[in-house]
A and B are shown apart, each in its own frame.
Chain A
Amino acid sequence: MSSTRTTAIQTQGLTKRFGDFVAVDSLDLEVEVGTVVSLLGPNGAGKTTTVRMLATLLRPDGGRASVAGHDVVQEAARVRELISLTGQFAALDKHLTARENLVLMARLRGRGHREARRIADQLIERFDVEPFRDRLVKQLSGGERRRVDLAAGLIDRPHVLVLDEPTTGLDPRSRQVVWATVRELVLDGVTLLLTTQYLEEADALADRVVLIDHGREVASGTPAQLKAQVGQQRVDVIAADGAAFDQMLALLDGRFDVKPLREQRMISVAAPEETADLARVAEAVEVSGISVDEIALRRPTLDDAFLALTGHPAQRAEEPEREREEAVV
């Protein structure tokens, strides 16, 4: 009983195969109520397959999964009342307007006509849909669609909200808007499972990150723990030639925490203060007059994380975009 109260999502040995391809391989996952957990992994890691099983869109081949204590297979109807999935591909009717979509979703969730319109208008205001509320979804930009899509997932306050790669394919500005929206939801106390390919995104939004690859958990922890393992941000300085490299090393060593890489003529400087450190390094180099090819601030990427945590780079397999059973024709 107590586990259902604090555990929003739990999977044990969850497995899904498509033919010979094991998309999700004995995955154990736990999301506590009121927390944000991010499933982080490259394309084909099994993120989408996992959330589709949780949302009762795919039947697991092995193991079990439950939402608020309700089994996703045995009690699928109950699970659908508790979970809200906003997928990677906008799940809206493109021939309806943004507002018509929201009204329809509210009506399908059992609301009367007037109540549905009231809810739709509230969501329109909350998600800044007002400027394009009466435009057909097919005419909206990717970022606008994503906002309507997010709103459609929040007709009822879901027990668990699942966002599948909410910012993939969005321009940086739209990504910021989605992040801001997600942060607001989190402040409201929504329980959130978020999948992403971006370490940065998991870092920005999640309490806990589960790194998965080939359908298996590779590592998990708080973003801070993972980043500590992956390594912090660095400023990389590439010298113009071997002589410049030596001069540069003499200049920077001692003043900064440096890691020289002679073959690449690169000196990698730890930059805990990010842009401030970048400015300091750049100034020191400028004053010295040593010739350099490049100075750049580098943030650790998903690839760095994989390299650091698994010892091998992330392998990108193609995940079937929509898993459907074999068609006969």
Chain B
Amino acid sequence: MTAIAATPSATPQMRPRPLRFGRDTALLTWRSLRSIPRVPERLLDVTIQPIMFILLFLYVFGSAIHVPGISYKDYMFPGIIGQSLAFGVIGAGVATSNDMTEGVIDRFRSLPISRLSIISAQVTSQFCEQLLGMFIVVGLGLALGWDPHLTPAHTVELIGLMVLAIFAFTWCGVLLGMLVRSPDAMQGVGFIVIFPLAFLAGTFVPIAGMAAIPRAIAQWDPISVLVASVRYLTEGVKTGGSWPLDHPELAMALWSLVLMAICVPLALRRFNRTLAA
């Protein structure tokens, strides 16, 4: 009996905490990204969906929309980027909701790993997916003749802004995914909250022509601000009409920080309450 108790369970000696956190996050991120080639439909929301919208607006609705001083193609692609980012929130939420109800999460939670790495890996892998989706959208845009007039300085600024925004939006998606009861509920939230925000935003038509209430929303909507900053950096076009739209890049950076200031603590709190307890 005592011999059995004395047999040490051969757990390797523990690494320092920050190292363990980094290592566990990397391992769990790998396990999440590993499934992409096996479940390619996971990428539908960041691939097929924007493609459908590009085709729809470029070749169907676009012919009826005239924006003075700019070709509709150049006007639309910043909008597509904003809309993909918004829909990415739904994708991240659905993926999180799916993942967090899997039995394997219980296994991870019962292992001697850093529990925070479960959520950090979720955010990291979703962030990677959103980045990949953005590459696809931009690549497709360039292939279809979108011609962003970027200076090197603007390119750096645009990339920095996009990475910041994608990171903030990913946290929103992960938070929503942990709050909802099921992936289906996340689809519902996406349709009720995210979908309107993606369109009340000067994504595909100028804000100036909207009725008063949608226009007021569109003047402050973060998606709107994002689209305005991409449009300003690529085409030099300023939308204007409200403080955020007059200063789109600064407003976008601020929006990202505000979203993170709200979502990160809430997501961590939610995680601690439900899964880390």
Contacts and interface: CB of A to CB of B under 8 A. Distances in A.
A140 interface: no
A104 B31 contact: yes
Contacts of A59: 277
B179 A33 contact: no
Nearest to A81: B112
B179 A328 contact: yes
B9 A96 contact: no
Given A77-B112, A92-B107, A108-B111, A33 B9 contact: no
A81 B20 CA distance: 14
A89 interface: yes
A85 B110 contact: yes
Given A82-B9, A110-B11, A328-B179, A92 B113 contact: no
A255 interface: no
A265 interface: no
A93 B27 contact: no
Nearest to A68: B5
Interface string B1-30: 111110101111011000000001001101
Q: How large is the interface on B (under 10, 10 to 19, 20 to 34, 35 or more residues)?
A: 35 or more
Contact of A93 (B35, B113, B185): B35
B7 A108 contact: no
B2, B9, B38, B277, most chain A CB atoms within 10 A: B9
Nearest to A324: B274
Contact of B107 (A105, A158, A327): A105
A83 B1 contact: no
Contact of A152 (B30, B107, B185): B107
A189 B9 CA distance: 13
B152 interface: no
Nearest to A326: B181
Contacts of B4: 33-34, 189, 191
B179 A110 contact: no
Nearest to B105: A91
A317 B91 CA distance: 37
Contact of B106 (A6, A83, A91, A189): A91
A299 interface: no
B106 A87 contact: yes
Nearest to B24: A108
A191 B11 CA distance: 17
B31 A96 contact: yes
Contacts of B257: none
Contacts of B110: 55-57, 80, 83-85
Contacts of A82: 9
B136 interface: no
A95 B15 CA distance: 29
B27 A104 contact: yes
B215 interface: no
A84 B11 CA distance: 13
Contacts of B111: 80, 105, 108-109
Interface SS, A side: loop
Contacts of B112: 77, 80-81, 109-110
B103 A157 contact: no
Contacts of B27: 104, 107-108
Contacts of B104: 91-94
Interface string A32-60: 11100000000000000000000111110
B73 interface: no
Contact of A91 (B14, B38, B103): B103
B10 A156 contact: yes
Contacts of B113: 108
Interface string B27-56: 110110011001100000000000000000
B185 to A, nearest CB: 5
A114 interface: no
A5, A32, A84, A91, most chain B CB atoms within 10 A: A91
A104 B107 CA distance: 11
Contacts of A111: 12
Interface in B148-176: none
Interface in B66-121: 101-104, 106-113
A111 B24 CA distance: 11
Interface string A14-37: 000000000000000000111000
- Nearest 6 interchain pairs by C-beta: A95-B35, A91-B107, A327-B181, A189-B4, A110-B12, A89-B103
Interface of B: 1-5, 7, 9-12, 14-15, 24, 27-28, 30-31, 34-35, 38-39, 101-104, 106-113, 179-181, 185, 188-189, 273-274, 277
11 contacts: A33-B1, A81-B9, A81-B112, A82-B9, A104-B27, A110-B15, A156-B9, A157-B7, A157-B10, A159-B9, A327-B179
Interface of A: 5-6, 32-34, 55-59, 77, 80-85, 87, 89-96, 100, 104-105, 107-111, 136, 152, 156-159, 189, 191, 322, 324-325, 327-329
Given A56-B110, A84-B110, A329-B179, 20 more contacts: A5-B5, A6-B1, A33-B1, A33-B4, A57-B109, A57-B110, A81-B112, A85-B110, A91-B106, A92-B103, A92-B107, A105-B107, A110-B14, A111-B12, A156-B11, A158-B9, A159-B9, A189-B7, A322-B101, A328-B180
